[in-house]
Structure 1
Amino acid sequence: MATSAPPRTSYPVPRTQTPDERGRFGAFGGAFVPEILHPVLEDLKRAWAEAQADDAFWAEYHRLLRDYVGRPTPLTRLDRLTERLGGATIYAKREDLCHTGAHKINNAVGQVLLARRMGKERIIAETGAGQHGVATATACALFGVECVVYMGTEDIERQNLNVQRMRLLGATVRPAESGSRTLKDATNEAFRDWVSNPDSTYYIIGSAIGPHPYPGLVRELHRVIGDETRRQLLEQTGSETPDAVVACVGGGSNAIGIWAPFVGDEDVRLIGVEAAGEGLGGRHAATLSRGEPAVFHGTRTYLLQDADGQVEIAHSVSAGLDYPGVGPEHAYLKDTGRVEVRTATDAEAMDGVRLLSETEGIIPALETAHAVAALPALAAEMGGAATIVLNCSGRGDKDMATISAWLDGTG
């Protein structure tokens, strides 16, 4: 019989073996930014260190997660999917049930609290799929803070629902029209704004990317996903640890959040699924699988590059995964062999949407669908005695136009 979870404190004790004092995860990470931003990052590091040591900060953060975000999110046993696949028992960590529809709100609420602590009066953000933009706009509306969100015009078109949500929440959505007109270019524009307004502006980076201290900061604000998963597994199965935890990886925030409390458990397989797009021989966004180390958006990590070292345009049917870089901690975990990297094509992700929708009545975001696509092979490989946790990072409302066009043959 499963036992009850032991009492826990109301705020987490951060366990940050990495990064080091320079913000390095092994050979990756660091802070490669214009000189004007160095004092801004130093201020942020000091403020974050003080917040981490402040019980009141964590108490307020977790109060908001409980009363506003809707945490803890459920851990749902997927009985029909388990039966369909005929292998391991599969659970879903339901970040799709967070307020705003994805895990992104965890980070946005925490960083707005930090920005207010620093006296910043203006928030900027970048977004691809729009969920981070919506989450940031939501948190800014909650606290009455000015919000500007940069978004590529390609993503504005395919994620119009989220654009309308951001505007309704009072945010200004500024289009990025250069390059691929997607997340990379929105991030470029946000960095330009930050350089121009370093004193008044706080930049909420939406994934575990960017210069130190952002990758570690974002991880700690999202590790609540994995902390809850451990407690819920103990309640439901009698063990805090599954055999595998599967998550999609673009920039990497949802994955690093659910993996963080399991990294030290060597018997738990951590499996990241990247976007193979049209196939690894064509257009894709499989950075860990096909990238090479380089400095990008303020950090050293893996990056998709051409033969001349120029940034390649990433492609995925998912607006949240078509980023040519990845978080530096992901690069470190991949290089050390702690994380297994798999890929799913656009077509396989669409199959994942149908699989989870038809078996469990859960329509996943296209990002999550890439992780779902890895489950049939993984469940068969691991067998019936295994337990797999899928991080259901977001819901598919925002993607219905793309999904419908694909299923109708017009996409």
Structure 2
Amino acid sequence: MRDVSPWREPVPAPGTMGEPRARGRFGEYGGRYAPESLVEACREVDEAFREARADPGFRGALAELLALHAGRPTPLTPARRLSQELGVRLYLKREDLTHTGSHKINNVLGQALLAARMGRRRLIAETGAGQHGVATATAAALLGLEATVFMGERDIERQALNVFRMRMLGAEVIPVTTGSRTLKDATSEAMRHWVGVTGDSHYCVGSVIGPDPYPWMVREFQRVIGDEARGQCAAELRTGVPDYVVACVGGGSNAAGTFAGFADTPARLVGVEAEGGAGAARGRLGVLHGCRSLFLQDDDGQITQAHSIAAGLDYPGVGPEHAHLRDLGRARYVTVTDDEAVGAAVRLARTEGIVPALESAHALAWVIRAAGGGELPAGSTVLMTLSGRGDKDVSTLKELL
């Protein structure tokens, strides 16, 4: 099943990606479906985040860390050879060039600063591809905090490099052996652990999922991607705004951050999911990990197992704001296969000298397919967020190529 979400003429919508409605709602999605023992903890995070984002001191400290530690701003790179082959003008927003190698550092530095502001001494995180875990371990080391990272046993096997990096940075990595032994179960275990340690620990959620305020807080920390890209496009493009803005979607944080910079423009927003984990494309309404959104389910409403060659997309749902953007028709959600993603990774490597993360390769695979099939008109300008670099996926690619 592919390309099944609505595709409407984009209408600039000021305020579309602003604050959620009361109780963290994006339309019918979102909310705070947390156990009683976590409701107060979520409320404290909400209050602290609202105070921090209004504080020039906090904003300045975060901006300094993003510049001096993470290496922002990241460049907007024209993919010249590939553009010529595809007949479109493709620009890559290079989150792969950040410190730690992906967009995850943007959100984690924000949440780590917030945790320190709240007096928490430890960060808890879940991770699939390992990039969020590495970013969490990095921020904890930088700020003198402890870090505990939950990771599915299957992902530990296929992301051994990132596991080593986390441990070298001083983080405790806890294997999760239940269920699919991937991201969904790592998230469940992290939330269970948080229940007993809310007094001294902050749960650093890695994507735009979870109970309110996490979906919009993570999006706001990732908004730097879209805001930077918007300014760079204004300087680079004759129109000032690309025709298409494309990003891969698992839970959806890099896409949410990118889309936030362009929601009030005529750009078409495209989220690309793994075919085996397409929550937005073919999920059904349900509740998981503290929020109401679209999830893969069986006829009895039980969450079904997702699959993707990219560990970061191996999640059976999508963040609530993405579900809302889909319903509005403001963003379209499409899927690509494992084989298409691998082919796209190889093609980018051999035309532009860039080895992308397999997550990012999904977004590129759709661009290649859409350009070849005529869905992207010749001469279109396409901004694609390259969310991470492919070092972590070399062993997987080596087995396939």
Q: Determine if the alignment matches structure 1 residue 297 to structure 2 residue 289.
A: yes
SS of the equivalent of 1:137 reads helix
How far apart, in 2, do the equivalents of 1:270 and 1:71 lie? Answer: 23
1:32-60 Cα distance to aligned partner (Å, 9 max, x none): 01111111111111101101111111111
User: Contact between 1:364 and 1:396, CA under 8 Å: does it hold in 2?
Assistant: yes
Deviations 1:323-361 (A, max 9, x none): 011100001001111111111100000011111111100
Q: Contact 1:90–1:390 (CA<8 Å) still a contact in 2?
A: yes
Match of 1:386 among 373, 377, 380: 380
**Deviation of 1:21 (Å):** 2.2
C-alpha distance in 2 between matches for 1:82 and 1:260? 25
Report the TM-score, using the length of structure 2 for normalisation. Answer: 0.94
Stretch of structure 1 that moved more, 337-346 or 91-100 = 337-346
Which residue number corresponds to residue 133 of structure 2? 133
Q: Percent identity?
A: 55
The residue type paired with residue 398 of structure 1 is K
Structure 1 residue identity aligned to 2:388: G
1:377 CA displacement:
3.1
AA at the equivalent of 2:61: E
Kindly indicate whether residue 353 of structure 2 is the aligned counterpart of residue 352 of structure 1. no
Structure 2 alignment gaps of length 5 or more: 1-14
Per-residue CA shift, 1:302-321, capped at 9, x if unaligned? 01111111110110001000
CA distance in 2, matches of 1:261, 1:104: 17
Which aligned runs of 4 or more in structure 1 are off by greater than 3 angstroms?
Answer: none
- How far residue 238 of structure 1 moved from its aligned partner, in angstroms, is 4.0
CA distance in 1, matches of 2:377, 2:327: 27
Shift of 1:240: 3.2
Q: Counterpart in 1 of 2:228?
A: 228
Provide the secondary structure at the position in 2 that maps to 1:167: helix
| Secondary structure of residue in 2 paired with 1:293 | strand
> Amino acid of the residue matched to residue 380 of structure 2?
A
DSSP-derived class of the 1:230 partner: helix
Q: 2:179, 2:185 within 8 Å by CA — same for their partners in 1?
A: yes
CA distance in 2, matches of 1:236, 1:64: 26
What's the CA shift for 1:378? 2.7
Question: Following TM superposition, by how much is the alpha carbon of 1:134 offset from its aligned partner in structure 2, in angstroms?
Answer: 0.1
Contact 1:18 1:24 in 2 (8 A): no
Q: Any stretches of 5+ residues in structure 1 without a counterpart?
A: 1-13, 277-283
* Matching residue's letter, 1:274: E
Q: TM-score, normalised by structure 1?
A: 0.92
2-structure distance, mates of 1:17, 1:99? 28
SS of the equivalent of 1:382 reads coil
1:28 corresponds to which residue? 29
In the alignment, which residue of structure 2 is the partner of 1:106? 106
Alignment correspondent of 1:398 = 392
Question: 2 CA distance for matches of 1:155 and 1:193?
Answer: 19
Aligned residues: 385
Question: Per-residue deviation at 1:114?
Answer: 0.3
> Which residue identity does 2:298 align to in structure 1?
D
Question: After the TM superposition, which residues 127-166 of structure 1 pair with which residues of structure 2 at under 5 Å, given as runs?
Answer: 127-166=127-166
- Counterparts of 1:69-108 in structure 2 under 5 Å? 69-85=70-86, 87-108=87-108
Specify the code of the residue in structure 1 equivalent to 2:145. V
Tell me the alpha carbon deviations over residues 268-287 of structure 1, each in whole angstroms, 9 at most, x when there is no partner: 100011101xxxxxxx1111
Matches for 1:4-403 after TM superposition, within 5 Å: 17-85=18-86, 87-265=87-265, 267-276=266-275, 284-379=276-371, 380-403=374-397
